[in-house]
Structure 1
């Protein structure tokens, strides 16, 4: 049975432009190149309004939910209203939403600035949640997402795919600064740990008891 990755993208008119189309393309390309690409399917929702989130969750039944867009820290994630303007969704609202899908959703990736606050709230109900600790450059967010999903597509655990996403950031920033040795299929879940500057570190949260 295939796992569904639901991509929720929002970039309201009154926010800075992000290359969300490139991010989605890099995710798709990474999965397409991967060994177990047939285990996943991607569903995309663009210009997402808050009311669209639960509808998409009910209709598409994803195991992985990926948000790409802007974050405002404690104020919430940036979606948009019917006029294309900013509409914030709070950490509490997101946690209450994902509480309804505890038994179905395995991982949530919030590829947005200052999304650690939302990750802390959602992980009360979802086993794995990834957020960005601070502001994150567009190219860094794209590199991490591409590396993470390519890892999943090659059979890595969520934790190991997260580490591969970190490696992808490091390769982009400093191509000579990381061990480029090939990872054998027998060693997929034992990737070298990458140390990144604090302002670039995505954070992986795991639900207590999971």
Structure 2
């Protein structure tokens, strides 16, 4: 069960921090607006620094608050936003499928992400603006090949038409929940070691000071 939205009066079982990364103008803010508020604005302005929104969903009868951070893609803000990778358990790595350069920069963004966050963070490669099919500059196979090589999930989305936006976010959140739940079960059986973080009912990763978890190696790919 991954598509039921939680009652905001419910107890929150988990808080998962997700970061949106990628070049400027690839549609990161629009993807967030579509997922969090089901909105889309043709007059969207560039994000300055970092903004975040939350959305509460229910997965497997657990109430999960997704805390989604929208990072500015402009070079001059990257030093500011890099601190916000810390504590993230998921990331949406976004490129514009009509702009080849934004895809060519994906590897650099991924390196930066892995340099500042847990190396086993759950990552979804997102080819946005699929509604502009006639302007496609990045073949789907190129993106699939990159995602397979780097063990990423992959989807093409359209924030304008709301295509695959919810599916992309829910896939990442569900994978994070699966990993955390599995580790929690192991922690309940293991009274020693460094399992204290996972013995409770909640994992809260609110911001840059949160310590990354030691997740197991993830190998995940979806088309």
| TM bucket, shorter chain | 0.3 to 0.5
User: Which has the higher Rg, Structure 1 or Structure 2?
Assistant: 2
- The structure with higher relative contact order (CA 8 Å, sep 6+) is 2
Which structure has the highest helix share of the two? Answer: 1
